[in-house]
Structure 1
């Protein structure tokens, strides 16, 4: 039986950045769920089997910290990709090794997430993250 594809949550309120991130995730062979708000992200986590997340720090309804807390409790890997100052993000309890400054190469963000998850249906290559062949 073929494994279910990964589902990556993207929380980003800039439409162009969200599309760039979603394209990289889809190219890697994963499903994509996008939201623009913390509240919608929390609802998505309830309704979907999310396997990793790419988050902006400051979105339409505030800082992403409630989503990060939920991801940490569930053991779901994430990266915060943000133009906010590193110190501001770290001060909210997000580890520096989970933060990537904007502008970001979302293919590389996917590679980081895949490397963190050895059970992933994706694998990291020199060309980015790609689906594992059955």
Structure 2
């Protein structure tokens, strides 16, 4: 079974590198993007399991990426320095948001538990 692939959308290169390093240690593949445009391209070409997104990146708010993730049933979280009210105004509930600085491993663990297919696994 192939490893899960996490999409991280973050335009601060140091935060992006730190987040990618943190979650890759859990044993997942990581794909990063600095812009909404790049993230949308990645969603067309890669099998993404979950996504962790900064709210504001170089080419604007990530709401188009959120829309695409929702269409595909891919769980996501917003990790941002933006006010939660500003994010909520774009239709993203505060429960899906974390303020920076964030623990990306904890966020990843919460996302993996939300995947639709986890309900199909037998419980022992």
Q: Which residue of 2 aligns with 1:104?
A: 102
TM-score (norm 1): 0.85
Alpha carbons 2:33, 2:39 under 8 Å: kept: yes
Structure with greater helix percent: 2
Q: CA deviation at 1:117?
A: 2.3
Unaligned runs of 5+ in 2: 119-124
Alpha-carbon distance, 1:118 to partner: 6.5
Work out whether residues 69 and 75 of structure 2, in 8 Å CA contact, stay in contact via their aligned partners in 1. yes
Tell me the SS of whatever aligns to 1:50: coil
Secondary structure of the structure 2 residue equivalent to 1:81: strand
Question: Which sections of structure 1, spanning at least 5 residues, go unmatched?
Answer: 121-134
User: Residue 54 of structure 2 corresponds to which residue in structure 1?
Assistant: 56
Render the CA deviation track for 1:34-80: whole Å, top value 9, x for unaligned: 01000000000000001100000000000000000000000000000
Give the CA RMSD over aligned residues: 1.1
Partner SS state of residue 28, structure 1? coil
SS at match of 2:102: coil
For 1:80 and 1:57, locate their aligned partners in 2 and report how far apart those are by CA, in whole Å: 6
TM value normalised by structure 2: 0.91
Which contiguous aligned blocks of 4+ residues in structure 1 show a shift greater than 4 angstroms? none
Listed as ranges, the matches of 1:78-97 within 5 Å are 78-97=76-95
Q: How does 1:116-127 map to 2 (within 5 A)?
A: 116-117=114-115, 119=117
